[in-house]
A and B are shown apart, each in its own frame.
Chain A
Amino acid sequence: RKEVEQDPGPFNVPEGATVAFNCTYSNSASQSFFWYRQDCRKEPKLLMSVYSSGNEDGRFTAQLNRASQYISLLIRDSKLSDSATYLCVVNIPSDNAGNNRKLIWGLGTSLAVNP
């Protein structure tokens, strides 16, 4: 099982639609969670961190479900400019003692918002 799994998509939605992505992770010791956005042929950029209680930033809502080991990203009122690949990122221990940690990147979910 991959450490971080995402549905690659593509998700094709009309402008104004609501779309949700899920990301599952396998390591129960994961501590920090993030969503990054990557435009075609550009570098990843942080979209938002994911907090245990869930958090919202404008049209974007991120949630964490530790029991089921997944995080989600909800985009409301989709815009053409939301078209991108959304990368799920999880922070896990990198040694057995848990003293060091590293980021594991999902392969991304592709979103295309159509006029």
Chain B
Amino acid sequence: DVKVTQSSRYLVKRTGEKVFLECVQDMDHENMFWYRQDPGLGLRLIYFSYDVKMKEKGDIPEGYSVSREKKERFSLILESASTNQTSMYLCASRPGTAKNIQYFGAGTRLSVL
């Protein structure tokens, strides 16, 4: 079974803090993604990566950055957290050969106070 692990299920941070969300997959997938999911807005793509050290902006990259130093790990960074970044964050991975089927981690519910 594919396993995508997100380091935290719940996080509470203060405005202005730097926040790291970690995601690890154990299936040697080339592609990894970070989404946020909000009521009424659905899943929105923040950033994705097709390979190590490679990153591409998604639909809502503002206020976020990412890092992919190793194939199995994709980190999402909030440089200075703001209250409007309170959300459910979902990491996903996908093998290069798959027809866009994505495997998700359990999610991190982040609250910024």
Contact = CB atoms under 8 A, between A and B. Distances in A.
B99 A102 contact: no
A49 to B, nearest CB: 7
Interface string B26-64: 000000000000001111010000000000000000000
Contacts of A106: 42
Contacts of A91: 100
A105 B104 contact: no
B42 A49 contact: no
B105 A103 contact: no
A101 B101 CA distance: 13
A32 B98 CA distance: 11
B15 interface: no
A19 interface: no
A43 B99 contact: no
Interface of B: 40-43, 45, 90, 99-107
Interface of A: 32, 34, 41-46, 49, 87, 89, 91, 101-103, 105-108
17 contacts: A32-B100, A41-B107, A43-B90, A44-B43, A44-B104, A45-B104, A46-B101, A49-B101, A91-B100, A101-B100, A103-B100, A105-B42, A105-B43, A106-B42, A107-B40, A107-B42, A108-B42
